[in-house]
Structure 1
Amino acid sequence: MSITPPAHAPSEGASVEGATPLPHARLSDVWSRVRNVALPFGSLLLFLALWQLVAVSGAWSETLVPRPAKVWDTFIEISSTHDGVRGYNGTTLVEHLGISLRRIALGAGIGIAAGVVFGLLMGTVGWLRSLFEPWITFLRTLPPLAYFSLLIIWLGINEEPKITLLAVAAFPPVAVSTTAAVTAVPESLIEAARALGASRWAVVRDVVMPSALPETLTGIRLAVGVAYSSLVAAELVNGLPGIGGMVKDAANYNNTPVVVVGIIAIGISGLIIDGLLLRLERTAVPWRGRA
Protein backbone atom coordinates (compact mmCIF):
# COMPACT_ATOMS: atom_id res chain seq x y z
CA MET A 1 0.00 0.00 0.00
CA SER A 2 1.40 3.37 -1.03
CA ILE A 3 1.17 6.35 1.24
CA THR A 4 1.10 9.84 -0.28
CA PRO A 5 3.65 12.02 1.45
CA PRO A 6 2.19 15.14 3.06
CA ALA A 7 2.69 18.44 1.27
CA HIS A 8 5.37 20.60 2.79
CA ALA A 9 3.95 23.58 4.58
CA PRO A 10 5.44 26.91 3.54
CA SER A 11 8.02 28.27 5.88
CA GLU A 12 7.15 31.22 8.07
CA GLY A 13 7.23 34.48 6.14
CA ALA A 14 7.24 32.74 2.74
CA SER A 15 4.83 34.21 0.20
CA VAL A 16 2.29 32.04 -1.52
CA GLU A 17 0.80 33.12 -4.81
CA GLY A 18 -2.69 34.47 -4.27
CA ALA A 19 -2.29 34.50 -0.47
CA THR A 20 -3.20 37.53 1.62
CA PRO A 21 -0.16 39.62 2.61
CA LEU A 22 1.00 39.19 6.19
CA PRO A 23 -0.35 41.73 8.68
CA HIS A 24 3.07 43.11 9.55
CA ALA A 25 3.76 43.75 5.85
CA ARG A 26 0.53 45.72 5.54
CA LEU A 27 1.33 47.69 8.68
CA SER A 28 4.80 48.48 7.40
CA ASP A 29 3.37 49.78 4.13
CA VAL A 30 0.80 51.94 5.94
CA TRP A 31 3.45 53.32 8.29
CA SER A 32 5.69 54.19 5.35
CA ARG A 33 2.89 56.17 3.69
CA VAL A 34 1.99 57.95 6.92
CA ARG A 35 5.62 58.83 7.53
CA ASN A 36 6.03 60.25 4.01
CA VAL A 37 3.13 62.62 4.70
CA ALA A 38 3.75 63.33 8.38
CA LEU A 39 7.43 64.31 8.11
CA PRO A 40 6.97 67.13 5.54
CA PHE A 41 3.86 68.35 7.37
CA GLY A 42 5.67 68.26 10.70
CA SER A 43 8.64 70.17 9.32
CA LEU A 44 6.23 72.81 7.96
CA LEU A 45 4.59 73.21 11.37
CA LEU A 46 8.01 73.49 13.02
CA PHE A 47 9.08 76.15 10.52
CA LEU A 48 5.89 78.18 11.10
CA ALA A 49 6.37 77.93 14.87
CA LEU A 50 9.97 79.16 14.66
CA TRP A 51 8.91 81.94 12.29
CA GLN A 52 6.21 83.05 14.75
CA LEU A 53 8.68 83.00 17.65
CA VAL A 54 11.19 85.13 15.74
CA ALA A 55 8.47 87.58 14.66
CA VAL A 56 7.09 88.10 18.18
CA SER A 57 10.49 88.18 19.87
CA GLY A 58 11.05 91.80 18.88
CA ALA A 59 14.57 91.12 17.63
CA TRP A 60 13.56 92.61 14.29
CA SER A 61 10.78 95.02 13.39
CA GLU A 62 7.61 93.63 11.82
CA THR A 63 8.54 95.49 8.63
CA LEU A 64 11.51 93.16 8.24
CA VAL A 65 10.00 89.96 9.66
CA PRO A 66 6.20 89.99 9.38
CA ARG A 67 4.15 87.46 11.31
CA PRO A 68 2.75 84.44 9.45
CA ALA A 69 -0.80 85.76 10.01
CA LYS A 70 0.14 89.05 8.31
CA VAL A 71 1.59 87.18 5.33
CA TRP A 72 -1.59 85.10 5.11
CA ASP A 73 -3.75 88.25 5.14
CA THR A 74 -1.55 89.71 2.39
CA PHE A 75 -1.95 86.52 0.37
CA ILE A 76 -5.75 86.86 0.59
CA GLU A 77 -5.59 90.56 -0.35
CA ILE A 78 -3.44 90.16 -3.46
CA SER A 79 -5.35 87.08 -4.58
CA SER A 80 -8.69 88.90 -4.76
CA THR A 81 -10.33 92.31 -4.89
CA HIS A 82 -10.08 93.93 -1.46
CA ASP A 83 -11.56 97.35 -0.62
CA GLY A 84 -11.86 98.13 -4.30
CA VAL A 85 -8.22 97.22 -5.01
CA ARG A 86 -7.67 94.23 -7.30
CA GLY A 87 -4.68 92.12 -6.40
CA TYR A 88 -1.29 93.81 -6.57
CA ASN A 89 -0.96 96.65 -9.07
CA GLY A 90 -4.31 95.68 -10.59
CA THR A 91 -3.35 92.02 -11.13
CA THR A 92 -4.09 89.06 -8.85
CA LEU A 93 -1.42 86.70 -7.57
CA VAL A 94 -2.54 83.87 -9.85
CA GLU A 95 -2.35 86.18 -12.88
CA HIS A 96 1.14 87.38 -11.90
CA LEU A 97 2.26 83.78 -11.52
CA GLY A 98 0.62 82.68 -14.78
CA ILE A 99 2.36 85.41 -16.78
CA SER A 100 5.74 84.44 -15.30
CA LEU A 101 5.11 80.75 -15.98
CA ARG A 102 4.36 81.54 -19.62
CA ARG A 103 7.65 83.40 -19.84
CA ILE A 104 9.49 80.46 -18.29
CA ALA A 105 7.73 77.96 -20.55
CA LEU A 106 8.68 79.90 -23.68
CA GLY A 107 12.21 80.88 -22.65
CA ALA A 108 13.16 77.58 -21.03
CA GLY A 109 11.47 75.67 -23.86
CA ILE A 110 13.68 77.41 -26.42
CA GLY A 111 16.79 76.84 -24.31
CA ILE A 112 15.96 73.17 -23.71
CA ALA A 113 15.28 72.47 -27.40
CA ALA A 114 18.53 74.17 -28.42
CA GLY A 115 20.42 72.33 -25.66
CA VAL A 116 19.20 68.91 -26.81
CA VAL A 117 20.12 69.62 -30.44
CA PHE A 118 23.56 70.98 -29.56
CA GLY A 119 24.17 68.14 -27.11
CA LEU A 120 23.41 65.51 -29.75
CA LEU A 121 25.61 67.26 -32.30
CA MET A 122 28.53 67.77 -29.93
CA GLY A 123 28.26 64.24 -28.61
CA THR A 124 28.38 62.66 -32.06
CA VAL A 125 30.74 65.05 -33.91
CA GLY A 126 34.04 65.56 -32.15
CA TRP A 127 35.10 68.78 -33.85
CA LEU A 128 31.78 70.44 -33.01
CA ARG A 129 32.33 69.57 -29.34
CA SER A 130 35.77 71.17 -29.44
CA LEU A 131 34.29 74.24 -31.11
CA PHE A 132 31.25 74.90 -28.92
CA GLU A 133 32.04 73.35 -25.52
CA PRO A 134 34.17 76.30 -24.27
CA TRP A 135 31.42 78.77 -25.18
CA ILE A 136 28.76 76.73 -23.43
CA THR A 137 30.94 76.49 -20.33
CA PHE A 138 31.43 80.25 -20.53
CA LEU A 139 27.65 80.81 -20.58
CA ARG A 140 27.11 78.30 -17.77
CA THR A 141 29.42 80.19 -15.41
CA LEU A 142 27.84 83.60 -16.04
CA PRO A 143 25.17 84.82 -13.59
CA PRO A 144 22.05 86.10 -15.41
CA LEU A 145 22.49 89.67 -14.18
CA ALA A 146 25.90 89.78 -15.87
CA TYR A 147 24.35 89.91 -19.34
CA PHE A 148 20.79 91.07 -18.69
CA SER A 149 21.71 94.74 -19.09
CA LEU A 150 23.28 93.95 -22.45
CA LEU A 151 20.11 92.13 -23.54
CA ILE A 152 18.08 95.21 -22.61
CA ILE A 153 20.36 97.40 -24.73
CA TRP A 154 20.01 95.04 -27.68
CA LEU A 155 16.35 94.01 -27.38
CA GLY A 156 14.58 96.78 -25.43
CA ILE A 157 12.51 96.47 -22.26
CA ASN A 158 9.56 94.39 -23.45
CA GLU A 159 9.29 90.58 -23.49
CA GLU A 160 12.27 89.85 -25.74
CA PRO A 161 15.09 90.31 -23.17
CA LYS A 162 13.18 88.32 -20.53
CA ILE A 163 12.56 85.37 -22.84
CA THR A 164 16.14 85.49 -24.13
CA LEU A 165 17.62 85.56 -20.63
CA LEU A 166 15.58 82.52 -19.56
CA ALA A 167 16.54 80.68 -22.76
CA VAL A 168 20.24 81.44 -22.29
CA ALA A 169 20.03 80.35 -18.64
CA ALA A 170 18.30 77.05 -19.49
CA PHE A 171 20.50 76.15 -22.46
CA PRO A 172 23.85 75.11 -20.85
CA PRO A 173 22.59 72.44 -18.37
CA VAL A 174 20.75 70.56 -21.12
CA ALA A 175 23.59 70.85 -23.62
CA VAL A 176 26.20 69.66 -21.11
CA SER A 177 24.15 66.73 -19.80
CA THR A 178 23.12 65.58 -23.29
CA THR A 179 26.69 65.79 -24.57
CA ALA A 180 27.97 63.75 -21.62
CA ALA A 181 25.20 61.18 -22.08
CA VAL A 182 25.85 60.78 -25.81
CA THR A 183 29.59 60.34 -25.36
CA ALA A 184 28.91 57.71 -22.67
CA VAL A 185 26.86 55.47 -24.97
CA PRO A 186 28.65 52.09 -25.17
CA GLU A 187 30.57 51.77 -28.40
CA SER A 188 29.55 48.12 -28.64
CA LEU A 189 25.89 49.13 -29.09
CA ILE A 190 26.78 51.53 -31.88
CA GLU A 191 28.98 48.97 -33.62
CA ALA A 192 26.25 46.33 -33.34
CA ALA A 193 23.71 48.67 -34.93
CA ARG A 194 26.09 49.48 -37.77
CA ALA A 195 26.83 45.79 -38.29
CA LEU A 196 23.10 45.23 -38.78
CA GLY A 197 23.08 47.85 -41.55
CA ALA A 198 21.75 50.86 -39.63
CA SER A 199 22.46 54.26 -41.15
CA ARG A 200 24.08 57.07 -39.17
CA TRP A 201 20.71 58.69 -38.49
CA ALA A 202 19.21 55.33 -37.48
CA VAL A 203 22.03 54.79 -35.00
CA VAL A 204 21.40 58.22 -33.47
CA ARG A 205 17.63 57.71 -33.39
CA ASP A 206 17.46 54.10 -32.19
CA VAL A 207 20.63 53.75 -30.08
CA VAL A 208 22.11 57.08 -29.04
CA MET A 209 18.95 59.00 -28.18
CA PRO A 210 17.33 56.28 -26.02
CA SER A 211 20.62 55.72 -24.19
CA ALA A 212 21.07 59.46 -23.58
CA LEU A 213 17.44 60.09 -22.56
CA PRO A 214 17.84 59.59 -18.77
CA GLU A 215 20.67 62.11 -18.46
CA THR A 216 18.93 64.50 -20.86
CA LEU A 217 15.82 64.49 -18.69
CA THR A 218 17.98 65.23 -15.65
CA GLY A 219 19.48 68.15 -17.54
CA ILE A 220 15.97 69.40 -18.37
CA ARG A 221 15.05 69.36 -14.68
CA LEU A 222 18.20 71.32 -13.89
CA ALA A 223 17.45 73.77 -16.70
CA VAL A 224 13.96 74.49 -15.40
CA GLY A 225 15.43 75.07 -11.93
CA VAL A 226 18.00 77.49 -13.35
CA ALA A 227 15.25 79.30 -15.27
CA TYR A 228 13.26 79.65 -12.05
CA SER A 229 16.26 81.01 -10.19
CA SER A 230 16.69 83.57 -13.00
CA LEU A 231 13.02 84.63 -12.95
CA VAL A 232 13.37 87.66 -10.67
CA ALA A 233 16.43 88.81 -12.63
CA ALA A 234 14.49 88.45 -15.89
CA GLU A 235 11.68 90.61 -14.53
CA LEU A 236 13.84 93.32 -12.96
CA VAL A 237 12.90 95.75 -15.72
CA ASN A 238 9.29 96.18 -16.81
CA GLY A 239 8.41 92.92 -15.06
CA LEU A 240 4.89 93.87 -14.02
CA PRO A 241 2.69 92.00 -14.38
CA GLY A 242 4.75 88.97 -13.32
CA ILE A 243 5.56 87.28 -10.03
CA GLY A 244 9.23 88.28 -10.14
CA GLY A 245 8.31 91.84 -11.06
CA MET A 246 5.83 91.88 -8.18
CA VAL A 247 8.55 90.79 -5.74
CA LYS A 248 10.97 93.41 -7.05
CA ASP A 249 8.38 96.20 -6.98
CA ALA A 250 7.26 95.30 -3.44
CA ALA A 251 10.89 95.25 -2.27
CA ASN A 252 11.34 98.81 -3.53
CA TYR A 253 8.67 99.91 -1.02
CA ASN A 254 9.76 97.59 1.83
CA ASN A 255 6.49 95.68 1.45
CA THR A 256 7.91 92.53 3.02
CA PRO A 257 4.64 90.54 3.22
CA VAL A 258 4.15 90.80 -0.54
CA VAL A 259 7.78 89.79 -1.08
CA VAL A 260 7.33 86.73 1.13
CA VAL A 261 4.09 85.75 -0.62
CA GLY A 262 5.81 86.04 -4.00
CA ILE A 263 8.77 83.93 -2.86
CA ILE A 264 6.46 81.24 -1.49
CA ALA A 265 4.43 81.23 -4.73
CA ILE A 266 7.59 80.81 -6.81
CA GLY A 267 8.85 78.03 -4.55
CA ILE A 268 5.59 76.06 -4.46
CA SER A 269 5.05 76.31 -8.21
CA GLY A 270 8.65 75.23 -8.73
CA LEU A 271 8.12 72.18 -6.50
CA ILE A 272 5.00 71.23 -8.45
CA ILE A 273 6.69 71.56 -11.84
CA ASP A 274 9.76 69.63 -10.65
CA GLY A 275 7.46 66.88 -9.37
CA LEU A 276 5.73 66.71 -12.75
CA LEU A 277 9.10 66.50 -14.52
CA LEU A 278 10.20 63.76 -12.12
CA ARG A 279 7.03 61.80 -12.88
CA LEU A 280 7.68 62.28 -16.60
CA GLU A 281 11.22 60.97 -16.11
CA ARG A 282 9.97 57.88 -14.29
CA THR A 283 7.41 57.24 -17.02
CA ALA A 284 9.77 57.80 -19.95
CA VAL A 285 12.72 55.85 -18.50
CA PRO A 286 11.25 53.31 -16.06
CA TRP A 287 14.42 51.24 -16.23
CA ARG A 288 16.58 53.93 -14.65
CA GLY A 289 18.11 52.74 -11.41
CA ARG A 290 17.02 49.16 -12.03
CA ALA A 291 19.36 48.08 -14.81
Structure 2
Amino acid sequence: MRSSRPCPMIISTMESLIMIRLRPLATIGSLCLAVLAWHIYATSFGHALVFPTPLKVFTALLKLLWTLETYRIIAYTLGRLILAAFMAALFGYLLGLLAGRYAWVEGLFRPWVTGLRTLPVVSIIVILLVLLPVRNQVVYVITFLMLFPLIYEAARQSVLQMPVDLKDVLALEPNTWWFRMVHIDIPLSLPTVKTTALQSVGLGFKVLITAEFISRATPSVGHILFTGTEMIDYTPVFAWTLLIIMIVAGLEVLVQRLKAS
Protein backbone atom coordinates (compact mmCIF):
# COMPACT_ATOMS: atom_id res chain seq x y z
CA MET A 1 0.00 0.00 0.00
CA ARG A 2 1.45 3.32 -1.09
CA SER A 3 2.01 6.07 1.45
CA SER A 4 -0.17 9.16 1.15
CA ARG A 5 2.58 11.46 2.45
CA PRO A 6 3.67 14.10 -0.10
CA CYS A 7 7.08 13.94 -1.70
CA PRO A 8 9.83 15.75 0.31
CA MET A 9 10.94 17.56 -2.85
CA ILE A 10 7.44 18.97 -3.35
CA ILE A 11 7.31 20.13 0.27
CA SER A 12 10.71 21.81 -0.07
CA THR A 13 9.62 23.56 -3.27
CA MET A 14 6.40 24.81 -1.67
CA GLU A 15 8.31 26.12 1.36
CA SER A 16 10.72 27.97 -0.93
CA LEU A 17 7.85 29.57 -2.83
CA ILE A 18 6.18 30.64 0.41
CA MET A 19 9.42 32.19 1.67
CA ILE A 20 9.87 34.08 -1.60
CA ARG A 21 6.30 35.42 -1.34
CA LEU A 22 6.81 36.44 2.29
CA ARG A 23 10.07 38.30 1.67
CA PRO A 24 8.48 41.51 0.28
CA LEU A 25 5.90 41.48 3.08
CA ALA A 26 8.68 41.16 5.66
CA THR A 27 10.54 44.09 4.08
CA ILE A 28 7.42 46.28 4.08
CA GLY A 29 6.65 45.30 7.66
CA SER A 30 10.18 46.18 8.77
CA LEU A 31 9.95 49.61 7.11
CA CYS A 32 6.54 50.26 8.71
CA LEU A 33 7.93 49.43 12.14
CA ALA A 34 10.87 51.78 11.55
CA VAL A 35 8.55 54.63 10.52
CA LEU A 36 6.30 53.95 13.55
CA ALA A 37 9.28 54.04 15.92
CA TRP A 38 10.48 57.23 14.22
CA HIS A 39 7.06 58.86 14.69
CA ILE A 40 6.81 57.87 18.36
CA TYR A 41 10.29 59.15 19.15
CA ALA A 42 9.82 62.39 17.16
CA THR A 43 6.55 63.24 18.92
CA SER A 44 8.04 62.52 22.34
CA PHE A 45 11.20 64.51 21.51
CA GLY A 46 9.16 67.69 21.28
CA HIS A 47 11.44 69.70 18.97
CA ALA A 48 10.30 69.54 15.33
CA LEU A 49 13.29 71.47 13.96
CA VAL A 50 15.83 69.06 15.41
CA PHE A 51 13.89 65.81 15.06
CA PRO A 52 10.94 66.20 12.65
CA THR A 53 8.10 63.71 12.30
CA PRO A 54 7.90 61.33 9.32
CA LEU A 55 4.91 63.23 7.88
CA LYS A 56 6.85 66.49 7.86
CA VAL A 57 9.90 64.83 6.28
CA PHE A 58 7.88 63.04 3.60
CA THR A 59 6.14 66.32 2.74
CA ALA A 60 9.54 67.99 2.34
CA LEU A 61 10.70 65.04 0.23
CA LEU A 62 7.76 65.45 -2.15
CA LYS A 63 8.61 69.13 -2.52
CA LEU A 64 12.18 68.20 -3.37
CA LEU A 65 11.04 65.75 -6.02
CA TRP A 66 8.92 68.48 -7.65
CA THR A 67 11.75 71.05 -7.65
CA LEU A 68 14.02 71.36 -10.68
CA GLU A 69 16.92 72.60 -8.53
CA THR A 70 16.98 69.22 -6.77
CA TYR A 71 17.83 67.39 -9.96
CA ARG A 72 20.47 69.97 -10.88
CA ILE A 73 22.22 69.40 -7.56
CA ILE A 74 22.00 65.62 -7.93
CA ALA A 75 23.37 65.91 -11.49
CA TYR A 76 26.42 67.82 -10.22
CA THR A 77 27.10 65.22 -7.53
CA LEU A 78 26.62 62.25 -9.87
CA GLY A 79 28.80 63.96 -12.48
CA ARG A 80 31.62 64.24 -9.98
CA LEU A 81 31.13 60.58 -9.06
CA ILE A 82 31.27 59.42 -12.68
CA LEU A 83 34.43 61.39 -13.45
CA ALA A 84 36.28 60.34 -10.29
CA ALA A 85 35.19 56.69 -10.63
CA PHE A 86 36.27 56.59 -14.28
CA MET A 87 39.74 57.93 -13.46
CA ALA A 88 40.08 55.53 -10.51
CA ALA A 89 39.02 52.58 -12.67
CA LEU A 90 41.39 53.53 -15.49
CA PHE A 91 44.52 54.07 -13.41
CA GLY A 92 43.70 51.37 -10.87
CA TYR A 93 43.15 48.79 -13.60
CA LEU A 94 46.31 49.52 -15.60
CA LEU A 95 48.58 49.85 -12.58
CA GLY A 96 47.04 46.77 -10.96
CA LEU A 97 47.81 44.70 -14.05
CA LEU A 98 51.41 45.92 -14.01
CA ALA A 99 51.68 45.23 -10.26
CA GLY A 100 50.45 41.69 -10.77
CA ARG A 101 52.99 41.14 -13.51
CA TYR A 102 56.02 42.90 -12.01
CA ALA A 103 56.99 42.68 -8.35
CA TRP A 104 58.83 46.00 -8.34
CA VAL A 105 55.66 47.82 -9.42
CA GLU A 106 53.72 46.15 -6.60
CA GLY A 107 56.45 47.17 -4.13
CA LEU A 108 56.36 50.73 -5.43
CA PHE A 109 52.62 51.15 -4.83
CA ARG A 110 52.23 48.94 -1.75
CA PRO A 111 52.74 51.65 0.94
CA TRP A 112 50.40 54.08 -0.83
CA VAL A 113 47.63 51.53 -1.38
CA THR A 114 47.96 50.25 2.20
CA GLY A 115 47.82 53.79 3.55
CA LEU A 116 44.73 54.68 1.54
CA ARG A 117 42.95 51.53 2.72
CA THR A 118 43.73 52.13 6.41
CA LEU A 119 43.55 55.90 6.90
CA PRO A 120 40.16 57.36 7.95
CA VAL A 121 38.34 59.20 5.18
CA VAL A 122 37.92 62.30 7.34
CA SER A 123 41.68 62.55 7.93
CA ILE A 124 42.42 62.44 4.21
CA ILE A 125 39.75 65.07 3.50
CA VAL A 126 41.21 67.44 6.10
CA ILE A 127 44.71 67.01 4.67
CA LEU A 128 43.45 67.65 1.14
CA LEU A 129 41.63 70.80 2.29
CA VAL A 130 44.99 72.15 3.41
CA LEU A 131 46.87 71.08 0.28
CA LEU A 132 44.38 71.92 -2.47
CA PRO A 133 43.56 75.58 -3.21
CA VAL A 134 40.04 74.94 -4.54
CA ARG A 135 37.53 73.17 -2.28
CA ASN A 136 35.67 71.58 -5.18
CA GLN A 137 38.85 69.71 -6.14
CA VAL A 138 38.77 67.80 -2.85
CA VAL A 139 35.66 65.80 -3.76
CA TYR A 140 37.24 64.50 -6.96
CA VAL A 141 40.53 63.58 -5.34
CA ILE A 142 39.08 61.89 -2.25
CA THR A 143 36.66 59.79 -4.31
CA PHE A 144 39.51 58.79 -6.62
CA LEU A 145 41.74 57.86 -3.67
CA MET A 146 39.02 55.74 -2.03
CA LEU A 147 38.12 53.78 -5.18
CA PHE A 148 41.61 53.41 -6.63
CA PRO A 149 42.83 50.75 -4.12
CA LEU A 150 39.77 48.57 -4.75
CA ILE A 151 40.24 48.49 -8.52
CA TYR A 152 44.02 48.20 -8.20
CA GLU A 153 43.84 45.19 -5.88
CA ALA A 154 41.19 43.44 -7.98
CA ALA A 155 43.31 43.79 -11.12
CA ARG A 156 46.48 42.67 -9.33
CA GLN A 157 44.85 39.60 -7.79
CA SER A 158 43.30 38.59 -11.13
CA VAL A 159 46.79 38.46 -12.67
CA LEU A 160 48.27 36.57 -9.72
CA GLN A 161 45.46 34.00 -9.84
CA MET A 162 46.08 33.17 -13.48
CA PRO A 163 46.05 29.39 -14.14
CA VAL A 164 49.44 27.73 -13.70
CA ASP A 165 49.22 25.99 -17.08
CA LEU A 166 48.79 29.32 -18.82
CA LYS A 167 51.78 30.75 -16.95
CA ASP A 168 53.91 27.82 -18.09
CA VAL A 169 52.89 28.37 -21.70
CA LEU A 170 53.64 32.09 -21.48
CA ALA A 171 57.07 31.36 -20.03
CA LEU A 172 57.94 29.44 -23.18
CA GLU A 173 56.67 32.08 -25.57
CA PRO A 174 58.84 35.15 -26.32
CA ASN A 175 55.95 37.60 -26.10
CA THR A 176 56.34 41.23 -25.08
CA TRP A 177 54.75 42.64 -21.93
CA TRP A 178 52.38 44.67 -24.10
CA PHE A 179 51.18 41.57 -25.96
CA ARG A 180 50.58 39.73 -22.69
CA MET A 181 48.64 42.63 -21.20
CA VAL A 182 46.41 43.24 -24.21
CA HIS A 183 45.73 39.65 -25.23
CA ILE A 184 45.92 37.78 -21.91
CA ASP A 185 45.81 39.92 -18.77
CA ILE A 186 42.98 42.24 -19.78
CA PRO A 187 40.59 39.55 -21.13
CA LEU A 188 41.12 37.32 -18.09
CA SER A 189 40.88 40.07 -15.47
CA LEU A 190 38.11 42.18 -16.97
CA PRO A 191 35.13 40.26 -15.45
CA THR A 192 36.57 40.45 -11.92
CA VAL A 193 37.54 44.11 -12.20
CA LYS A 194 34.17 44.97 -13.74
CA THR A 195 32.35 43.40 -10.78
CA THR A 196 34.56 45.24 -8.27
CA ALA A 197 34.14 48.55 -10.07
CA LEU A 198 30.36 48.23 -10.15
CA GLN A 199 30.18 47.24 -6.48
CA SER A 200 32.27 50.27 -5.50
CA VAL A 201 29.82 52.77 -7.02
CA GLY A 202 27.67 52.92 -3.88
CA LEU A 203 30.75 53.37 -1.69
CA GLY A 204 32.04 56.11 -3.98
CA PHE A 205 28.72 57.97 -3.79
CA LYS A 206 28.72 57.94 0.02
CA VAL A 207 32.38 59.01 0.21
CA LEU A 208 31.69 61.78 -2.30
CA ILE A 209 28.81 63.19 -0.24
CA THR A 210 30.98 63.07 2.89
CA ALA A 211 33.69 65.03 1.08
CA GLU A 212 31.11 67.53 -0.20
CA PHE A 213 29.77 67.99 3.33
CA ILE A 214 33.17 68.66 4.89
CA SER A 215 34.59 70.75 2.05
CA ARG A 216 31.27 72.56 1.43
CA ALA A 217 31.63 72.15 -2.33
CA THR A 218 28.86 73.86 -4.29
CA PRO A 219 26.50 72.98 -5.78
CA SER A 220 26.30 69.58 -4.14
CA VAL A 221 24.16 67.29 -2.00
CA GLY A 222 26.73 67.51 0.79
CA HIS A 223 26.50 71.30 0.87
CA ILE A 224 22.72 71.10 1.24
CA LEU A 225 23.15 68.78 4.23
CA PHE A 226 25.73 71.12 5.74
CA THR A 227 23.44 74.13 5.31
CA GLY A 228 20.58 72.31 7.06
CA THR A 229 22.73 71.41 10.06
CA GLU A 230 24.18 74.92 10.22
CA MET A 231 20.68 76.47 10.24
CA ILE A 232 19.50 73.90 12.83
CA ASP A 233 16.67 72.88 10.51
CA TYR A 234 16.88 69.12 10.13
CA THR A 235 13.75 68.63 8.06
CA PRO A 236 15.58 69.15 4.74
CA VAL A 237 18.47 67.07 6.10
CA PHE A 238 16.13 64.14 6.75
CA ALA A 239 14.41 64.64 3.38
CA TRP A 240 17.70 64.71 1.50
CA THR A 241 18.86 61.67 3.45
CA LEU A 242 15.82 59.71 2.26
CA LEU A 243 16.52 60.93 -1.26
CA ILE A 244 20.14 59.75 -0.97
CA ILE A 245 18.89 56.33 0.15
CA MET A 246 16.64 56.20 -2.91
CA ILE A 247 19.55 57.15 -5.19
CA VAL A 248 21.87 54.54 -3.66
CA ALA A 249 19.14 51.89 -3.97
CA GLY A 250 18.66 52.86 -7.61
CA LEU A 251 22.41 52.61 -8.19
CA GLU A 252 22.45 49.17 -6.59
CA VAL A 253 19.65 47.97 -8.88
CA LEU A 254 21.51 49.37 -11.89
CA VAL A 255 24.73 47.68 -10.76
CA GLN A 256 22.98 44.31 -10.40
CA ARG A 257 21.54 44.58 -13.89
CA LEU A 258 24.91 45.54 -15.36
CA LYS A 259 26.54 42.61 -13.57
CA ALA A 260 23.89 40.25 -14.91
CA SER A 261 24.45 41.50 -18.45
- How would you bin the TM-score normalised by the shorter chain? 0.7 to 0.9
Gaps of 5+ in 1: 1-11, 14-21, 81-86, 284-291
Q: What TM-score do the two structures reach when normalised by structure 2?
A: 0.82
Name the CA distance, whole Å, in 1 between partners of 2:218 and 2:60.
18
Q: Secondary structure at the match of 1:228?
A: helix
Among 110, 129, 143, which residue is 1:152 paired with?
129
RMSD of aligned Cα (Å): 3.0
Instruction: Indicate the residue corresponding to 1:267 in structure 2.
Output: 245
Name the CA distance, whole Å, in 2 between partners of 1:30 and 1:139.
45
Work out whether 1:281 is the aligned partner of 2:259: yes
Among 111, 116, 123, which residue is 1:139 paired with?
116
Maintained 8 Å contact 1:104/1:228: yes
Work out whether 1:79 is the aligned partner of 2:56: no
| Identity between Structure 1 and Structure 2 (%) | 21
Q: For residues 79 and 279 of structure 1, do their structure 2 counterparts lie closer, same or farther at Cα, with a shift above 3 Å needed?
A: closer
Gaps of 5+ in 2: 1-5
Q: Report how far residue 222 of structure 1 moved.
A: 4.6
Read off the aligned partner of 1:172 and give its amino acid letter: P
Q: What TM-score do the two structures reach when normalised by structure 1?
A: 0.75
Name the CA distance, whole Å, in 1 between partners of 2:137 and 2:72.
20
Name the larger-Rg structure.
1
Which structure has the highest helix share of the two?
2
Among 226, 229, 232, which residue is 1:251 paired with?
229
Q: Larger RCO: Structure 1 or Structure 2 (Cα < 8 Å, ≥ 6 residues apart)?
A: 2
Aligned residues: 254
Instruction: Indicate the residue corresponding to 1:84 in structure 2.
Output: none
Instruction: Indicate the residue corresponding to 2:99 in structure 1.
Output: 122
Instruction: Indicate the residue corresponding to 2:83 in structure 1.
Output: 106
Work out whether 1:46 is the aligned partner of 2:33: yes
Q: Secondary structure at the match of 1:92?
A: helix
Maintained 8 Å contact 2:138/2:215: no
Work out whether 1:92 is the aligned partner of 2:69: yes
Maintained 8 Å contact 2:199/2:255: no
Single out whichever of 61-70 and 190-199 deviates more from structure 2.
Answer: 190-199
Kindly provide the CA deviation profile for residues 55-92 of structure 1, in whole angstroms up to 9, marking residues without a partner as x.
23x14633332111000111123334xxxxxx5xxx63
Among 187, 191, 205, which residue is 1:228 paired with?
205
Maintained 8 Å contact 1:107/1:166: yes
